[in-house]
Structure 1
């Protein structure tokens, strides 16, 4: 309480408003201001020191709901990848061994989805390939390959390319070359190469030919993955696919030869050296196909072509090594083991 006051708490000295009093004689205004006590102000705050944020090494990995969890050196969910791969293999085996034409339905469905995935990826990169003529041409090319052989596949491809070029005319000249070229690329890359898998099925022993082709490519993926994870030290193409190594490539060749040779000899009655050649050639083409799709994805700035298959990505991510290998497998088996 202030003595003799009204009972209000003491709030400090009352500031003087108005002009400052004249300085005493003998002092300059600057000296007078320096001698005045400082005006009351807020008390200084105590310095606050923030604790450093702990690093991941100090507290361990934090599992955030909804975030992608660590997957190890493989770079993917191996449990999901193995489960999906086994399911796809069962569908392919059943279609080949029970009723061969059912394999055409499997191929057609997979290729149609892959075309849509690739078109969407190219659209994200700025191109607008015509999707309708490519989808219609895909069905026509597979049907013609099954009924008319290689000549039917070529005719279907040429007609599809013509349809792509004419269809794109309807949207004007702006970006025509870019969009039309992208449409031709999709037609060449997916349905044309997939048509060679249909050509493999046409002979009487077509089921064995398709199994030899698919099993060898699967061996490429499994052998390359295992050898790369265990021994990979020398990158093959670090700017395209950093995880691919020359050690993994050696594992791919070895696995392909070990799988292809007994199938070619026992199921197709071909020479043993033909099996070795077949396995080594498909190891090369499957790796080139994988790197080719990785190059496209790097250029477009995406990780996967889709997310339909857990642990794998999209259908196109599974067909990347199969598509070029189908053409090489058809050509080699036509020479090594004529139908």
Structure 2
């Protein structure tokens, strides 16, 4: 008795169709074009032999030819139970004894499995459970990028530079730092007025980064008047002095107010507060660098001494913090800053500034050391101030413009607080002629 086709056809199915020849020998795999997984191969066999998956294959009672039956016909000797699993974990031959695919024939002439059917061998168990060894040779899923390997217990992922203990990509940070230093030193040495162009470009980029950052706090200060006013402020400071710097600040704030009123009064107070902070923080403080460079005769040296003091402070703090840092200085603002790193910053800046001011300006070394301490403290405060702003805004860097540094403001934060301090102290130590 054959089952009717579930879609309504009365044509018999499977081996009972008279117009179809008997099937040939059983294939070693249900799909011949699919290569079996490496873990399915039995050890000790030829590479082209493997353990067959559990299929509903039995021996034909008439011709002895193994074929794939449906396993559900009532007259099928190899009929499986209703749960779909063979009762003994294997298959049965024509005599009703268990037959295991892939095992050699035993002394009784049939394909024997293990001596005890209830205790299968380890080779047959490998078909059911590949074990931990199979996980090691199984092909990994997913696509890997070229030149990288999958990380494991004993090997890290390759192709990615390991960050330093301070959280930076140190080679990239050093390279970008040298490039920024060259952009400051070369114009000062060759053509000092060109330094104002570099400073104005830096102010424009810094304002752009700040405007983008404060948008996370739902503040939208206008970018165009801030950038135009910032460049104007730096230019006025470089050509007309301290009074012109204050005038540029007032003009920038007034222009920003007028521009913002054109967009309505919704959120006006919040946007104006953000615009005021940006204007004071970036172009007004950077204008003191223009005042230092505008000093007659020794303006480039004043800028150079200030920048070197900040570099010594950052380098000393980095080295001391990585080597000796244990007690955090401000864990809620900047967890990586330590009191040991702060001591290294002050010590390196004091020692270096004492030598620099004595050689370049003939200032007593103790006054030069005091200059270094003041500049270093201002630089650390500037770094903490920006860290506090970034933490409030929920960002790590102002941008990703500079590899190993983040944004330009992440490098200017120390200098912006240091240049007003250096301007005031140098005006006392080395009065400007005339």
Same fold (TM over 0.5): yes
Partner of 2:424: 331
Aligned equivalent of 2:399: 306
1:221 corresponds to:
314
Counterpart position of 1:126: 218
RMSD: 2.7
Q: Where does 1:184-199 land on structure 2 (aligned, <5 Å)?
A: 184-199=276-291
Per-residue CA shift, 1:132-185, capped at 9, x if unaligned? 111111121111111211000001101111111221111111111111111111
Shift of 1:11: 3.1
* 1:320 counterpart SS class: helix
The answer to whether structure 1 residue 151 and structure 2 residue 243 are counterparts is yes
- The answer to whether the aligner puts 1:278 opposite 2:371 as a matched pair is yes
> 1:269·1:337 contact (CA, 8 Å) conserved in 2?
no
* SS in structure 1 of the partner of residue 329 of structure 2: strand
Greater RCO, 1 or 2 (C-alpha within 8 Å, sep 6+):
1
Is contact 1:130-1:180 (8 Å) kept? no
Q: Which moved more, 1:42-51 or 1:155-164?
A: 42-51
Structure 1 range deviating more: 244-253 or 203-212: 203-212
Residue 387 of structure 2 corresponds to residue 294 of structure 1 = yes
Inter-partner Cα distance in structure 1 for 2:241 and 2:83: 94
Q: Is the counterpart of residue 11 in structure 1 residue 72 in structure 2? A: yes
Distance 1:50 1:191, change over 3 A: farther
Instruction: Indicate the residue corresponding to 1:117 in structure 2.
Output: 209
SS of 1:242's equivalent in the other structure is strand
Structure 2 unpaired stretches of 5+: 3-12, 17-68, 76-80, 90-124, 137-149
Maintained 8 Å contact 1:226/1:248: yes
- The structure in which a higher percent of residues are helix is 1
Q: Which residue of 1 aligns with 2:83?
A: 41
CA offsets 1:260-319 (integer angstroms, 9 cap, x no match): 112222212223222111100111110011111111111112111122221111111110
Unaligned runs of 5+ in 1: 15-38
* Contact kept? 2:164, 2:170, Cα under 8 Å: no
Report the counterpart of residue 90 of structure 1 in structure 2: 182
Q: Bigger shift: 269-278 or 140-149?
A: 269-278
SS of the residue corresponding to residue 43 of structure 1 reads coil
Task: Please name the residue that 2:146 is paired with.
Answer: none
C-alpha displacement of 1:13: 4.7
What is the match of residue 269 of structure 2?
A: 177
Cα distance in structure 2, aligned partners of 1:244 and 1:11: 74
Counterpart check, 1:140 vs 2:232: yes
1:131: how far off? 1.0
